[in-house]
């Protein structure tokens, strides 16, 4: 930790690369691993453009459930530490950005600087039109439920005990994973969110990036500029398995230019923990606990 913190103090350009592990102590599940979302559901059936085309009612129930859980969750100390850094960086003469793969909106709710936050996989709270002819996007839509048909879905697959926990105010204190998603009913297209500007009544879809889709170009360009413009001294890799491209490419791009890496994860390979990976520190544990200790 001491060696890492010495480097942190000298670092002038820093990137935080964030994944689902950061929100675990807020009560949200990861994707992979034994408790992960993709262990229980086939991602092809839920998180691809084809899935939405085949069964938009199923996909909307999944995302309605995710929106509900994210709205009930609260930012944890890890989100707050990064948010604080984003706000104080300029006064410390540091250039700092957070690249988050998370769509849960918790970084923004922790008061992370919007300018310095790149939500590369979109947001559960943006809705966008499915028509190629239409650019309509409804940003920051926190309505819950989005339509009458989606109203009771989150309750039907929530057991009473868990429902009480979700509505409690102390998710920060009690890490617990969200209940399982079970689609409960068939919902027709006319009962789903509709584009208000399209005359042909196109559906709105969740504003997230599904497999096989391009990431928002402006966001990707801004990140590329930050990484390529000058050497990044340090990349903090927080709660991500690094399975998904292009997020997983940023670490190597920083390393190639001489930057150092600090990993915060509950699961870290031994050779990293033993200090055998060049220019890489590994801190094993809950990111919400580790980040305040390491960065404040
Ligand atoms: C803790 C913790 C605690 C637990 N504290 N840590 C073949 C076919 C089609 C596509 C491809 C293909 N091969 C490659 C591709 C590309 C594809 C890809 O990478 N696929 C791989 C799976 C192989 N990528 C894409 O398709 C992307 N698009 C693209 O590449 O377009 C080209 C392009 C690039 C650049 C510019 C322009 C164009 C799109 C990827 C979209 C990913 N979407 C999802 C779903 C988002 C919507 C939703 O949320 O439903 O994003 S998938 C899912 O994975 C989600 C996550 O953001 C992402 C990353 O997951 P993450 O965050 O790492 O979570 P986990 O669960 O994997 O890991 C959690 C970690 O936390 C673990 O390490 C735990 O140990 C740890 N942990 N508790 C700290 N308390």
Ligand 1 pocket member 179 (CB < 6 A): no
Domains contained in the chain, number: 2
Domain termination site, one of 208, 232, 250: 208
Read off the pLDDT of each residue in 119-129 and give the average, rounded to a whole number. 98
- Ligand 1 centroid from CA 238, angstroms: 13
**1 shares its domain with 135:** no
Check if 271 is active-site: no
- Name the residue with higher pLDDT: 183 or 296: 296
**171 shares its domain with 280:** no
**5 shares its domain with 117:** yes
The model's pLDDT over 223-279, given as tens digits with 9 standing for 90+, comes to 999 999 889 999 999 999 999 999 999 999 999 999 999 999 999 999 999 999 999
Ligand 1 pocket member 214 (CB < 6 A): yes
Residue 184: predicted pLDDT: 62
Residues near 254 by beta carbon (within 8 Å), at least 6 away in sequence: 15, 227, 232, 235, 261
Catalytic residue among 79, 121, 139, 271: 121
Cα gap 79→236, rounded to integer Å = 13
Ligand 1 pocket member 215 (CB < 6 A): yes
Using the atom order of ligand 1, give the atom closest to the CA of residue 248. 19
**1 shares its domain with 139:** no
- Ligand 1 centroid from CA 216, angstroms: 15
Ligand 1 pocket member 25 (CB < 6 A): yes
Domain termination site, one of 186, 208, 230: 208
The neighbouring-strand residues paired with 204 are 129
Residue 196: predicted pLDDT: 95
Strands 280-284 and 260-265, sheet pairing? parallel
Give me 277's structure tokens: 């990976």
The model's pLDDT over 45-76, given as tens digits with 9 standing for 90+, comes to 789 999 999 999 989 988 998 998 899 899 99
The model's pLDDT over 81-100, given as tens digits with 9 standing for 90+, comes to 999 999 999 999 999 999 99
Assess whether pLDDT exceeds 80 at residue 14: yes
Assess whether pLDDT exceeds 60 at residue 139: yes
Q: Give the domain range for residue 280.
A: 1-28+75-121+215-296
Helix (H, G, I), strand (E, B) or coil at 293: helix
Give me 76's structure tokens: 């944890």
């Amino acid at each position: 930790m001491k060696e890492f913190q010495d480097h942190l103090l000298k670092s002038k350009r820093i990137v935080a690369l964030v994944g689902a592990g950061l929100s675990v102590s807020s009560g949200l599940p990861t994707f992979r691993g034994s408790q992960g979302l993709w262990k229980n559901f086939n991602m092809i059936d839920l998180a691809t453009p084809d899935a939405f085309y085949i069964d938009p009612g199923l996909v909307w129930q999944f995302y309605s459930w995710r929106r509900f859980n994210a709205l009930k969750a609260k930012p944890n100390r890890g989100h707050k530490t990064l948010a604080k850094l984003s706000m104080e960086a300029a006064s410390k003469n540091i250039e700092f950005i957070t690249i988050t793969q998370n769509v849960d909106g918790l970084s923004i709710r922790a008061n992370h600087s919007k300018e310095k936050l790149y939500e590369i996989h979109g947001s559960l709270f943006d809705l966008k039109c499915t028509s190629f002819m239409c650019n309509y996007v409804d940003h920051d839509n926190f309505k819950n439920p989005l339509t009458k048909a989606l109203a009771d879905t989150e309750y039907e697959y929530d057991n009473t005990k868990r429902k009480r926990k979700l509505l409690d105010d102390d998710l920060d204190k009690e890490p617990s994973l969200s209940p399982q998603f079970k689609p409960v009913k068939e919902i027709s297209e006319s009962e789903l969110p509709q584009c208000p500007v399209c005359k042909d009544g196109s559906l709105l879809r969740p504003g997230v990036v599904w497999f096989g889709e391009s990431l928002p170009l402006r966001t990707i360009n801004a990140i590329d500029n930050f990484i390529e413009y000058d050497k990044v001294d340090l990349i903090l890799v927080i709660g991500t398995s690094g399975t998904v491209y292009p997020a997983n490419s940023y670490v190597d791009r920083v390393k190639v230019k001489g930057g150092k890496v600090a990993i915060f994860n509950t699961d870290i390979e031994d050779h990293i923990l033993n200090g055998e990976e060049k220019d890489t520190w590994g801190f094993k544990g809950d990111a919400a606990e580790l980040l305040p200790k390491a960065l404040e």
